[in-house]
Homo-oligomer: A and B are copies of this chain.
Amino acid sequence: MNTQSNMYKMWLQYREMPNKINKETYGEIAVIGNSPIQESIKEELTRAFEQMYQWTPVFTENLNAQIVIAINDKLNDLLSKNHKDQVEHLLDEGYIIASENNQVIITGKSSVALLYGVFHFLKDLQIGKDIHTLNITNQPKNSLRMINQWDNLDGTIERGYSGNSIFYENGKIVKDKSRIKDYARYLASVGINAIAINNVNVWEEETFFITKKYLPEIKEIAQIFTSYGLKTYISINFASPIAIGGLHTADPMDEQVKEWWKKCVKEIYDYIPNFGGFLVKADSEHRPGPFTYNRDHKDGANMLAEALAPFGGKVIWRCFVYNCVQDWRDRSTDRARAAYDHFKPLDGLFHENVILQIKNGPMDFQVREPVSPLLGAMHQTNQMVEFQIAQEYTGQQIDLCYLIPQWKDVLSFDTYVKGEGSTIEKIVAGQIHPYRYSGIAAVSNIGNDENWTGNTLAQANLYGYGRLIWDPSLEAEEIACEWIALTFDSSKEIKNTVSSMLMDSLSIYENYTAPLGVGWMVTPHYHYGPNIDGYEYSRWGTYHFADRNGIGVDRTQATGTSYTSQYNEPNASIYEQLDTCPDELILFFHHVPYDYVLHSGKTIIQHIYDTHFLGYKQVEQLIKKWAMLENVIDVDTFRNVEERLQLQRANAKEWRDQINTYFYRKSGIPDQQKRTIY
């Protein structure tokens, strides 16, 4: 355990503390209960205390211990009336840390609440808080807090930028699952409570995950996650009844198909009694789905939901559905419209254990997109938003890009679906529509690199994701500082430098990449580095329509694809009108000439030049900032980030020069500042 490198330990460093709490007083810890979660709690406390204080706690059931960790009904009268009331009002996952009569009491209504409380407790100790004054009440704002692994059985990870899978290698589930356990610890420590363990694109062999062939080993994985409070989900192949069931159809209305799935689900629950359910990508990017049988998404989802319902399982059905064989000549088809057009008419028709998983934007995790108009648009259908922690389009964990500010923007977006204040944050928390289930999911950014995330600073995105969806009111900078304090130490120098780097990084990345919300312009398939026309004549529906006069996609009702009409007022009008459309999204909604003047006072073309020259310079500044930490931060982390910043500089240079050259060649308008364009 102690041979793990700092980078490996992420935000659970448990660095040795100068102000030790003493063994004489706190050496015995009461942990009441024997579930696997209680075992996890004991392990974590042992690990933490040994590392932070160099002594090993002894666990007892004696409620007189100075630290007591127990579900509230096992506490007898240790809690004050006030605290008792607080616990009564908590959700199942909520906890309190109370200092009562010199005792520290961590409690809640469930084992997992205790686990979350313990992680909070250890975090506070690590950052130097006084154990005698802890008084915390906390609970998650979202009920479903999920991670999606896009891991394949061959060990690769779709859109993985941190090595290979920690779950699979060479076509098999890994034998040594200790790294999966560590991953469970990290996820639990930030409150994640669900995980889909395989890629939403389910290939031939992974289709068998829901059978005896793999269930015994998946059960082992599920047990690990269970002991950290996470439910395990499996991504399924909608065509399984044909692919592995020997049926000639996967028609969701076919009785044999329904029966097949019911048997299949029963078998899964025989192995994994608290199995979470299925994550489904159907009729999307060539994956099979109900369309083959002239059925629709509700038919497909409900059929699976029926099979899962008796066991409390859920169907998480992805809404990333669009025409991926579009003809670029056809300007009437607008990929941005697709999710809304497909799903909105089905509102109210899904079973109550179906949840629609909707990407944050209408396109695909670009650095800048408007918020998906489907979010909140379905009043009677459970919804969750999908983020991407993996930096597919945002620098692939080479370039620094702290994503929390982007997700904050999404969560604070006001949809007006039920009047002002109908923010995404409230929608996915189930506060606007009475969703039975809702929450947030995200694509993981981890792999088997020593530091989990390729770029060590990308750990902040995983940490921040968990923290943010637990409590969306947290500020991005607050989360960054928390992560820095836990990962490095509490020196002001590191904190100021790293937090400013993180906080600046998203706008820097946006500065040197595709301008003003138009998106894409990346190398096809790989999605790293510039290729301005890379998707311009392709089937993917991701165009910018730049010509010698102007650029942008006309999505207005007046003259374009009417995508703006998918929003409620006043958003629809704000986006529809050139003069109210926010600068940063103008090319997403409008096709404008290069000399169009933004609210900023700059023309489109000068904005492009200025942001691209600036973005590159800002990367150079990041490099300088980081260099100041050379003898302050551990050498492995220093080199890791330093190397990536150099690659980022090369990438930013390509983006700067290709974008500027492309638009200069097209527009013929020179840079006002006469900087070098090729």
Contact partner of A661 among B532, B537, B549, B678, CB < 8 A? B537
- Specify the chain B residue showing the minimal Cβ separation from A668: B548
Taking CB atoms, residues of chain B closer than 8 Å to A658 are 537
Asked if A533 CB lies within 8 Å of chain B CBs, one says yes
Roughly how many angstroms separate A308 CA and B531 CA in the complex, as a whole number? Answer: 47
Contact partner of A678 among B329, B530, B657, B668, CB < 8 A? B329
Which 10 pairs show the lowest CB-CB distances between chains A and B?
A547-B665, A548-B548, A329-B678, A537-B658, A533-B533, A548-B668, A548-B666, A666-B666, A329-B657, A548-B665
Taking CB atoms, residues of chain B closer than 8 Å to A548 are 548, 665-668
Roughly how many angstroms separate A665 CA and B664 CA in the complex, as a whole number? Answer: 14
Taking CB atoms, residues of chain B closer than 8 Å to A532 are 533
CB pair B549 A668 closer than 8 Å:
yes
Taking CB atoms, residues of chain B closer than 8 Å to A668 are 547-549
Asked if A620 CB lies within 8 Å of chain B CBs, one says no
Asked if A546 CB lies within 8 Å of chain B CBs, one says yes
Taking CB atoms, residues of chain B closer than 8 Å to A546 are 665
Asked if A364 CB lies within 8 Å of chain B CBs, one says no
CB A552 to nearest CB in B, in angstroms, measures: 13
CB A310 to nearest CB in B, in angstroms, measures: 48
CB A532 to nearest CB in B, in angstroms, measures: 7
Asked if A343 CB lies within 8 Å of chain B CBs, one says no
- Specify the chain B residue showing the minimal Cβ separation from A331: B678
- Specify the chain B residue showing the minimal Cβ separation from A532: B533
Roughly how many angstroms separate A678 CA and B548 CA in the complex, as a whole number? Answer: 14
How would you classify the secondary structure of chain A's contact residues: helix, strand, loop or mixed? loop
Copies of this chain, complex-wide, total 2
CB pair B329 A666 closer than 8 Å:
no
Roughly how many angstroms separate A667 CA and B547 CA in the complex, as a whole number? Answer: 9
- Which of A531, A533, A537 gathers most chain B CB within 10 Å? A537
Roughly how many angstroms separate A666 CA and B533 CA in the complex, as a whole number? Answer: 13
Supplied contacts A328-B678, A548-B667, 10 more A-B pairs, CB within 8 Å: A530-B537, A531-B533, A533-B533, A533-B662, A537-B654, A537-B661, A547-B668, A548-B665, A548-B668, A665-B666
Roughly how many angstroms separate A530 CA and B534 CA in the complex, as a whole number? Answer: 11
Roughly how many angstroms separate A661 CA and B668 CA in the complex, as a whole number? Answer: 18
Roughly how many angstroms separate A547 CA and B667 CA in the complex, as a whole number? Answer: 9
- Specify the chain B residue showing the minimal Cβ separation from A329: B678
Taking CB atoms, residues of chain B closer than 8 Å to A665 are 546-548, 666
Taking CB atoms, residues of chain B closer than 8 Å to A662 are 533, 537
Taking CB atoms, residues of chain B closer than 8 Å to A657 are 329, 537
Residues of A with Cβ closer than 8 Å to B? 328-329, 530-533, 537, 546-549, 654, 657-658, 661-662, 664-668, 678
Roughly how many angstroms separate A657 CA and B657 CA in the complex, as a whole number? Answer: 27
CB A529 to nearest CB in B, in angstroms, measures: 10
Taking CB atoms, residues of chain B closer than 8 Å to A666 are 547-548, 665-666
Roughly how many angstroms separate A410 CA and B138 CA in the complex, as a whole number? Answer: 80
Taking CB atoms, residues of chain B closer than 8 Å to A661 are 537
CB A653 to nearest CB in B, in angstroms, measures: 10
CB A259 to nearest CB in B, in angstroms, measures: 41
Roughly how many angstroms separate A549 CA and B548 CA in the complex, as a whole number? Answer: 10
Roughly how many angstroms separate A664 CA and B658 CA in the complex, as a whole number? Answer: 21
Taking CB atoms, residues of chain B closer than 8 Å to A678 are 328-329
Taking CB atoms, residues of chain B closer than 8 Å to A329 are 657, 678
- Specify the chain B residue showing the minimal Cβ separation from A657: B329
CB A237 to nearest CB in B, in angstroms, measures: 28
Provide a sorted-by-A list of 12 A–B residue pairs whose CB atoms are within 8 angstroms. Answer: A328-B678, A329-B657, A531-B533, A533-B533, A537-B654, A547-B664, A547-B668, A548-B548, A548-B665, A548-B667, A665-B666, A666-B666
Roughly how many angstroms separate A532 CA and B328 CA in the complex, as a whole number? Answer: 15
CB A96 to nearest CB in B, in angstroms, measures: 58
Roughly how many angstroms separate A546 CA and B661 CA in the complex, as a whole number? Answer: 11
Taking CB atoms, residues of chain B closer than 8 Å to A530 are 537
CB A544 to nearest CB in B, in angstroms, measures: 11
- Specify the chain B residue showing the minimal Cβ separation from A546: B665
Roughly how many angstroms separate A667 CA and B667 CA in the complex, as a whole number? Answer: 10
Roughly how many angstroms separate A531 CA and B531 CA in the complex, as a whole number? Answer: 11
Roughly how many angstroms separate A328 CA and B662 CA in the complex, as a whole number? Answer: 12
CB A579 to nearest CB in B, in angstroms, measures: 26
- Specify the chain B residue showing the minimal Cβ separation from A328: B678
CB A616 to nearest CB in B, in angstroms, measures: 14
- Specify the chain B residue showing the minimal Cβ separation from A678: B329
Taking CB atoms, residues of chain B closer than 8 Å to A664 are 547
CB A549 to nearest CB in B, in angstroms, measures: 7
- Specify the chain B residue showing the minimal Cβ separation from A669: B548
CB A127 to nearest CB in B, in angstroms, measures: 47
Roughly how many angstroms separate A666 CA and B547 CA in the complex, as a whole number? Answer: 6
Roughly how many angstroms separate A658 CA and B665 CA in the complex, as a whole number? Answer: 18
- Specify the chain B residue showing the minimal Cβ separation from A658: B537
- Which of A533, A661, A668 gathers most chain B CB within 10 Å? A533
Taking CB atoms, residues of chain B closer than 8 Å to A533 are 531-533, 662
Taking CB atoms, residues of chain B closer than 8 Å to A531 are 533, 537
Roughly how many angstroms separate A442 CA and B666 CA in the complex, as a whole number? Answer: 40
Roughly how many angstroms separate A553 CA and B556 CA in the complex, as a whole number? Answer: 40
- Specify the chain B residue showing the minimal Cβ separation from A664: B547
CB A253 to nearest CB in B, in angstroms, measures: 36
Roughly how many angstroms separate A662 CA and B546 CA in the complex, as a whole number? Answer: 10
- Which of A547, A664, A667, A668 gathers most chain B CB within 10 Å? A547
Taking CB atoms, residues of chain B closer than 8 Å to A667 are 548
Roughly how many angstroms separate A612 CA and B678 CA in the complex, as a whole number? Answer: 29
- Specify the chain B residue showing the minimal Cβ separation from A653: B329
CB A30 to nearest CB in B, in angstroms, measures: 61
Roughly how many angstroms separate A222 CA and B566 CA in the complex, as a whole number? Answer: 70
CB A645 to nearest CB in B, in angstroms, measures: 21
Roughly how many angstroms separate A530 CA and B657 CA in the complex, as a whole number? Answer: 23
Roughly how many angstroms separate A666 CA and B532 CA in the complex, as a whole number? Answer: 14
- Specify the chain B residue showing the minimal Cβ separation from A661: B537
Roughly how many angstroms separate A548 CA and B678 CA in the complex, as a whole number? Answer: 14
CB A41 to nearest CB in B, in angstroms, measures: 51
CB A386 to nearest CB in B, in angstroms, measures: 31
